[in-house]
């Protein structure tokens, strides 16, 4: 693991924004209203996956594709209303960490399983969009997390090798994706803890992004110089 990094990569849902519980609750409730019991344990398997991959896993819980499509549409309507509320939903420490990285001159990108347009809209509503030089969405890559493609794309858009980046993730699928891309990983668990094996492969497991502030002088002590050194 590197001592100093040139850039930071971030997941969004469950990491920067407190959305995962809201999304899960909406799915469970809307499914129940259609007479379908969607178990929380089953839902947790899709955390961090792309929309296409999560749909493929969820559809088996429903009586038919029409029922699934109706529930998915209802969930989308609920979430669109909630995510559009300005300034809401930031996880503790998210804004402070991004502001500190800006002061350090550290470029940041989002690598999320959500679609690029959704990422942009949610970050703007939360007041965080200005902190990111690049966005990579799950709709732009062939395979979602734990495949590394979205993290590789985010690093490319920053112009920094993934091996010179530190990635912040909340999910197991996301952490595996960032590691596979070559980045070092900080895990801040949301719905599911990383497990001992995955935790051992990461830089650190934190309780919240607030705790990351104490590590910044070591992680990004020479970030601008490191960025110049990695550029062709």
Catalytic residues: 11, 13
Distance of alpha carbon 100 from alpha carbon 106, whole angstroms: 9
Q: Where do we find the tokens 């495949």?
A: 147
Contact yes or no for 120/142 (Cβ under 8 A): no
For residue 188, the 8-state DSSP code is: -
Q: Please report which helix (H) or strand (E) contains residue 44, including its range.
A: helix 40-44
Closest CA to 179 of 14, 9, 63, 51: 9
Q: What are the structure tokens assigned to 194, written together?
A: 């990383």
Q: What are the structure tokens assigned to 88, written together?
A: 């809401």
Distance of alpha carbon 174 from alpha carbon 139, whole angstroms: 15
């Amino acid at each position: 693991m590197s001592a100093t990094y040139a850039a930071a990569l971030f997941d969004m849902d469950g990491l920067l924004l407190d959305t995962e519980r809201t999304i899960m609750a909406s799915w469970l409730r809307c499914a129940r209203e259609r007479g379908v019991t969607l178990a929380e344990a089953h839902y947790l398997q899709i955390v961090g996956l792309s929309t296409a991959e999560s749909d493929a896993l969820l559809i088996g819980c429903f009586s038919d594709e029409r029922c699934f499509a109706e529930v998915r549409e209802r969930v989308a309507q609920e979430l669109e209303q909630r995510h559009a509320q300005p300034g809401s939903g930031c996880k503790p420490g998210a804004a402070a960490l991004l502001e500190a990285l800006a002061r350090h001159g550290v470029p940041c990108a989002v690598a999320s399983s959500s679609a690029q347009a959704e990422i942009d809209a949610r970050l703007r509503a939360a007041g965080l969009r200005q902190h990111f030089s690049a966005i990579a969405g799950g709709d732009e890559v062939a395979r979602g997390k734990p495949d590394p493609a979205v993290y590789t794309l985010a690093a490319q858009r920053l112009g920094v090798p993934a091996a010179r980046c530190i990635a912040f993730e909340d999910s197991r699928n996301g952490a595996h994706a960032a590691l596979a891309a070559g980045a070092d990983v900080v895990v801040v668990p949301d719905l599911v803890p990383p497990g001992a094996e995955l935790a051992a492969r990461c830089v650190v497991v934190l309780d919240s992004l607030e705790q990351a502030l104490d590590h910044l002088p070591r992680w990004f002590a020479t970030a601008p110089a490191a960025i110049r050194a990695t550029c062709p």
